[in-house]
Structure 1
């Protein structure tokens, strides 16, 4: 039977605590006022990314279908848990393919540039 990881922690029974469960403030106005840009180890943050509307609907439909499918041994506990597991898988694949399986070095600037790609 297919197994779908419920969270990136490897604990299928782990509950998704949603955004901001660990870090104080994050990108909120309050967070900016009190310096909430840092992230606590093991905390959670929102992902500042856009996806197409059709893909987002497919994602939602997939999570609900997996949760309702009796053939799925360990269904995702939430949309956030499913996305976190997918991101973790993609990052590990990129590290394996382009960096000999090691983590990429920390970026020199804490902030990423926004807007259209350069080039």
Structure 2
């Protein structure tokens, strides 16, 4: 398991993941798909999951946290088709947009965990 002594870049990336998680929680109300049950519950559950993981990563970043955020982002991207709400255009675009942003943010942090001289094995 790899970890990194958090620096400003890590705090920024984990803070971005936290904001994306909070945004995903708020998305059903903000974009008006709270009545779309599967889409709303998926956003609330995975938004909360990402927010909790990001808070943990803000304290000390471990590779498992970042991989879990990336997996959550991938699921959020695929959820409209897996859960059958792809016809709800706004919900689909919100999920795909947040999911892509989460995957990019987590991928950047994975790269830092692999390449940074301040990263080490625990």
Q: Do these two structures clear the TM 0.5 threshold for a shared fold by scoring above it?
A: no
Give the TM-score of the pair, scaled to structure 2.
0.28
Higher Cα radius of gyration = 1
Bigger RCO (CA 8 Å, 6+ sep): 2
Q: Which has the higher strand share?
A: 2
Give the TM-score of the pair, scaled to structure 1.
0.29
Q: Which has the higher helix share?
A: 2
